[in-house]
Amino acid sequence: MRLSKKIHPSNHTHPLRVLKPVLSLIAALALSLAAMPAALADEADGGADEAVYTVVEFSFTDGVVTFEDEDDFIYDVTEDGYIINGVPVSVDDFASEPSECWVYAYNLYSEIWGEGFSIYIDTEDNLLRGLSADELTLTEEHLREYVSRAIPGAVLRICDREYLYGGDGWGHSQLIVEIDDEGFTVLEGGLHQSPYRQEHYYTWSEYIETSWLGGHYEYIKYIQWPGAGEAAQS
């Protein structure tokens, strides 16, 4: 399993809703179906695949996300894509259309976390909350520093100054799925060639030099995942 974040016990914790597998629940329901009336059996079958959320303790130490139990955040790279927060995710989970990068990223993010992300820079789930405009400029140094502090499943938004402090307008959204020392992999939509979505690995320098990314947009607006604002205080 490749995971770029250290995971170890911590004494300073904060609750985060994290999706966990429900295999034991499904097994228990399967064993009891034979003894249940038909109507109740149908109801049980309908709910067996529903997500179950639990409170997981986590914190940040020197910018590194820390979980009380390493099994709380389930991550892996598979032949078909990724497992992030216990949820199978791939580039083909959702369709996309030209200029709809935000919608594509929002759908994937919601699939992973069970909730959407904010369009504003000052949300408590923004890793970069509280940073100045100068600190948010889209440079190779800033990109490497900030993305390296993220976890798989985070959404990255870049934009121009016009939309830095308001709602999301022109810009580009990407879902981060893997991070290493040389760069990171994203799932991104809204592209202008069919199928309008892709899984792509960017080195730090490549991202900055790409004409429609670092070559066009000036700022990193946010990197969000549930509870990420704790990192801004580390």
- Other Cβ atoms less than 10 A from the Cβ of 39: the count is 8
In a domain, 70, yes or no: no
In a domain, 205, yes or no: yes
Query: What pLDDT is attached to residue 14?
Result: 33
In a domain, 131, yes or no: yes
In a domain, 16, yes or no: no
Closest among 159, 164, 1 to 73, alpha carbons compared:
1
> Which tokens belong to 96?
């996309």
Can you give the residue range of the structural domain that contains 199?
Answer: 92-233
Q: What angle do CA 229, 224, 143 make, to 5 degrees?
A: 100
List residues bridging with 12 in a β-sheet: none
Q: Which contiguous run of DSSP H or E holds residue 46?
A: helix 38-47
- Give the mean model confidence (pLDDT) for residues 79-106: 97
Asked if pLDDT for residue 25 goes beyond 60, the answer is: no
What is the distance, to the nearest Å, from the Cα of residue 183 to the centroid of all Cα atoms in its chain? 16
In a domain, 4, yes or no: no
Integer angstrom CA distances of residue 210 from 139, 203, 204: 12, 10, 10
pLDDT tens by residue, 172-214: 999 999 999 999 999 999 999 999 999 999 999 999 999 999 9
Least confident of 64-73, 78-87, 162-171: 64-73
Count the domains in the chain.
Answer: 1
- Other Cβ atoms less than 10 A from the Cβ of 213: the count is 18
Half-sphere exposure of residue 200, counting CA atoms within 13 Å on the CB side? Answer: 13
Amino acid at 38: A
In a domain, 127, yes or no: yes
Contacts of residues 107-115 at CB distance under 8 Å and 24 or more positions apart, as own/partner, are 108/175, 108/187, 109/153, 109/155, 109/175, 109/224, 111/87, 112/19, 112/84, 112/85, 112/87, 112/153, 113/17, 113/19, 113/85, 113/153, 113/225, 113/226, 114/17, 114/19, 114/51, 114/53, 115/17, 115/226
Looking at residue 50, what DSSP letter applies? S
In a domain, 38, yes or no: no
Query: What pLDDT is attached to residue 132?
Result: 96
pLDDT band, very low/low/confident/very high, at 229 (cuts 50, 70, 90): confident
In a domain, 75, yes or no: no
